[in-house]
Amino acid sequence: MKKVGIFSLTLLLTMSFFSCQKNSNETWENVKTAGNYLHKGIDSLWSGDKDSKLLGLNSQNDGPQEEDYLPLEDSDLRSQFKATDTAIAQSSKTAKSGIPNYAHYKKPSNNTASIFKNIYFPPDGHVVQEKEDLQIIADIVRFLKKNRSANLIIEGHCDETMPASYNMALGTRRANQLRVLLIKQGVDSNRLFTVSYGKEKPIALGHTKNDWAKNRRVEFKLYER
Amino acid sequence: MKLLKTFLIFSFFPLMILAQEYDVVLQREKILPSVLIGSIQQKKEEKLLSTFLNVLQSDIRLSGLFHEPDLLVVSHEDSSKLKDGWLQDYAVFMKYQDSKFFLDVYESKNRTKLFSLNSDVLKTSSNTRKIAHALFDQMVFRLLNKKTIVNSRILYTVRSKKDEEFISEVWMCDYDGYNAKQLTYEKSYGVNPIFVPNRFGSSHYIFISFKNGQSKLFLGSLDGDKIFPIMPLKGNQLLPSISLSGDKLAFVSDASGRADLFVQHLNKNGVFLGKPQQIFSKPRSIQASSSFAPDGKQIVFVSDKDGSPRLYLMGLGQNRASSRPKVELISLKNRQNGSPSWSYDGRKIAFVAKTEGIYQIWIYDLETKEEWQLTKGLENKENPSFAKDSLHLVYNTEGKEGAKLYLINLMDKKPMLITKEHQECRFPSFEP
């Protein structure tokens, strides 16, 4: 009977080892998902995490004059998360015409190329963390504060590992993240425009991890009057 | 004996735990009717007949409604062979006379003639394909009481490089990839073209153009090359989808600083009703492509609000919601999902999901709430779009070999390459 007991224990240990075995990718995905749920839990404690409310066709369709769209009614969407979610609404200055004089925006020239360097991101990431990237942002802020007539387009780009449609949204997130960082350091939001090209305009045309790393980037286009 | 039983139980138990889960799929191959296409050679009109036969054969093959057709073309002297032992369910005999094509359709078993069809007068040989499609459509309707997709067109984009810059123009082709026609000549970047439903009595499409710097919704005509921005909303506009009745246009915008889902209501003439409405937003998340249910009462969209991009269903109320709408997660099997397309019968949603490292097309069955994998193979698949028969899908591949368009039907699951010339064909969308 003792032998059966030892045998059963060995089997149970084997089972628990194999059933928990996962590769590193799966573990990472789980950590990410768990992290998001953790945030969700904290948000709920903070001020109640609510799903968005719907608006429909009625007299409220025209909405407030100051907005060019009907925003969601979730008050929590505006008030909460200020500490962690950093969305800043786009400038309505160019709502009808898009970016003014788009043709005049150029890739930074020899003089400015050392300031407006590309910023790179981890897979599916959008947060600027590296010290040298934060230095680039500080240099850009300094330049824009010194050159008050300069406007900037912030282009978000992605690698080819995700679908084109999702990448369009991801590139938007990257570009807006950079825009927020510049605004928070005192750059006028009316001088900053974002655009996402997703994976449509890669700079590295290969299909290796190195190529993908080069393509997950934010680029800058500058317009100086 | 007791010891033996215990030993057996403990021996098999780990195997049960460790064994991989296999889906046992019982092959339920639908019994499809078979067709013989017969014709007598007409040397004067050889090219014309050859084109017609090729189109008819291709339509039968792509329809998913018949077995691979058999073709029998005989000389005048051997014309009696056409009447020899028909093994197929139907025999279709074709001839060209007085500038018209004729089809005689027989039921093989009883050798009875079911019906005859004839085309309009062929004015130019370039119309041969159109006439063959039309006769096939009529034939299927008479035989099976079903509508085909032979008259549906596909919008897509072609990416190329000009002066070291990528550009992408909008094109349109027939459902089988023929008659490709360029619609935009902007030398700019255009993506996500979709047809505007025909209820406005016009032939238009909406797409995203970057010609003014930021990505904006533009309207173009299928007959001309002029395009116009349509949405005076700040920021970027991306990933449009339109309801079948044409009363709602969904898109993603970063007007608020995040990539949120918006809906613009339209009146029966296609004019915007009021302002666009932000219908879904979530801090620290982005929303991506969407697709409307055929009745326009629900929308399926991509969001990474719970970690990785997944599909969510949301109801679209007609009045200001008094309670929170339920957002239902539907893609459970895979972590990375995208590009939903709702079928016209309302029963299925096609989408892409990363499956063992490769993006494949999956189908979500709204009745059984189950997901199943449609495509296989080593290339990534993107942007599935249902045809109006809810049986066919068009999608594009992406990879080292470029991007190509494929047509696939849900029954036989065999992808058919339909792009003929260009290397980078993407963002296909079927005509509703």
Q: What is the mean pLDDT of the segment spanning B127-137?
A: 93
Burial annotation B412-432 (CB, 10 A radius, 16+ → b, else e):
eeebbebbeebebbbbbbbbb
Whether the predicted pLDDT of B273 surpasses 50: yes
CB atoms near residue A159 (< 10 Å): 23
> What are the beta bridge partners of residue B241?
B250
CA B254 to chain centre: 28
Helix (H, G, I), strand (E, B) or coil at A128: coil
pTM of the model: 0.85
pLDDT band at B41 (very low <50, low <70, confident <90, very high): confident
B314 to chain A: closest CA residue: A54
CATH code of domain B152-430: 2.120.10.30
Which residues, in sequence order, are CB contacts of B388 under 8 Å at separation 6+?
B147, B149, B152, B344, B430, B431, B432
Whether the predicted pLDDT of A96 surpasses 60: no
Verify whether the Cβ–Cβ distance B257 to A176 is below 8 Å: yes
pLDDT higher at A29 or B362? B362
Q: What is the mean pLDDT of the segment spanning A199-222?
A: 95
> What are the beta bridge partners of residue B92?
B37, B105
Kindly report the average pLDDT of chain B as a whole number: 88
Q: What is the mean pLDDT of the segment spanning B71-77?
A: 82
Q: Range with the lowest mean pLDDT among A101-110, B114-123, B185-194?
A: A101-110
pLDDT higher at B320 or A48? B320
Whether the predicted pLDDT of A25 surpasses 70: no
Distance CA(B118)–CA(B138), nearest Å, equals 10
Q: What is the mean pLDDT of the segment spanning B160-189?
A: 94
Smallest CA–CA distance, residue B57 to chain A, in Å, is: 34
A64 contacts on B by Cβ (under 8 Å):
none
Say yes or no: B279 contacts chain A, CB-CB below 8 A: yes
Q: What is the mean pLDDT of the segment spanning B330-347?
A: 96
pLDDT band at A160 (very low <50, low <70, confident <90, very high): very high
Give percent of chain B above pLDDT 90. Answer: 65
Cβ neighbourhood burial of B271 (10 Å; 0-12, 13-18, 19+): exposed
Helix (H, G, I), strand (E, B) or coil at A141: helix
Say yes or no: B289 contacts chain A, CB-CB below 8 A: yes
Distance CA(A192)–CA(A93), nearest Å, equals 11
Q: What is the mean pLDDT of the segment spanning B307-321?
A: 82
Whether the predicted pLDDT of A129 surpasses 60: yes
Q: Range with the lowest mean pLDDT among A92-106, B271-285, B356-370?
A: A92-106
A155 to chain B: closest CA residue: B214
First CA to last CA distance, chain B: 69
Say yes or no: B255 contacts chain A, CB-CB below 8 A: yes
* Per-domain boundaries in chain B: 35-144, 152-430
The percent of chain A in helix, strand and coil, each rounded to the nearest 5, is 45, 10, 45
Give the one of A32, A62, A89 whose C-beta lies nearest to B257's C-beta: A89
Q: What is the mean pLDDT of the segment spanning B143-166?
A: 93
Q: What is the mean pLDDT of the segment spanning B364-379?
A: 96
The string of pLDDT tens digits covering residues A6-16 is 666 666 555 55
Whether the predicted pLDDT of B27 surpasses 60: no
Distance CA(B66)–CA(B56), nearest Å, equals 12
Say yes or no: B381 contacts chain A, CB-CB below 8 A: no
The whole-number pLDDT of residue B412 equals: 87
The whole-number pLDDT of residue B399 equals: 84
Phi, psi (5° rounding) for residue A196? -115, 130
Smallest CA–CA distance, residue B387 to chain A, in Å, is: 20
Verify whether the Cβ–Cβ distance A57 to B191 is below 8 Å: no
The H-assigned helical ranges of B145-266 are none
Distance CA(B212)–CA(B224), nearest Å, equals 20
Say yes or no: B20 contacts chain A, CB-CB below 8 A: no
Verify whether the Cβ–Cβ distance B321 to A53 is below 8 Å: yes
Whether the predicted pLDDT of B320 surpasses 60: no
Whether the predicted pLDDT of B28 surpasses 60: no
The whole-number pLDDT of residue B425 equals: 97
CA A82 to chain centre: 16
Helix (H, G, I), strand (E, B) or coil at A131: helix
CA A214 to chain centre: 17
CATH code of domain B35-144: 3.40.50.800
pLDDT band at A177 (very low <50, low <70, confident <90, very high): very high
First CA to last CA distance, chain A: 90
Verify whether the Cβ–Cβ distance B214 to A194 is below 8 Å: yes
pLDDT band at B13 (very low <50, low <70, confident <90, very high): low
The B260-266 sheet, strands edge to edge: B237-242, B248-253, B260-266, B272-280
The whole-number pLDDT of residue A11 equals: 61
Kindly report the average pLDDT of chain A as a whole number: 76
A58 to chain B: closest CA residue: B319
The string of pLDDT tens digits covering residues A39-85 is 544 544 443 344 444 444 444 445 455 578 888 876 555 554 555 56
Q: Range with the lowest mean pLDDT among A24-38, B73-87, B246-260?
A: A24-38
Q: What is the mean pLDDT of the segment spanning B216-241?
A: 92
Burial annotation B88-102 (CB, 10 A radius, 16+ → b, else e):
bbbbbbbbbeeeebe
Greatest CA separation for chain A: 90
Distance CA(B432)–CA(B153), nearest Å, equals 9
B428 contacts on A by Cβ (under 8 Å):
none
The whole-number pLDDT of residue B410 equals: 95
The whole-number pLDDT of residue B324 equals: 52
pLDDT higher at A31 or B401? B401
The whole-number pLDDT of residue B76 equals: 76
Cβ neighbourhood burial of B319 (10 Å; 0-12, 13-18, 19+): exposed
Whether the predicted pLDDT of A121 surpasses 50: yes
pLDDT band at A105 (very low <50, low <70, confident <90, very high): confident
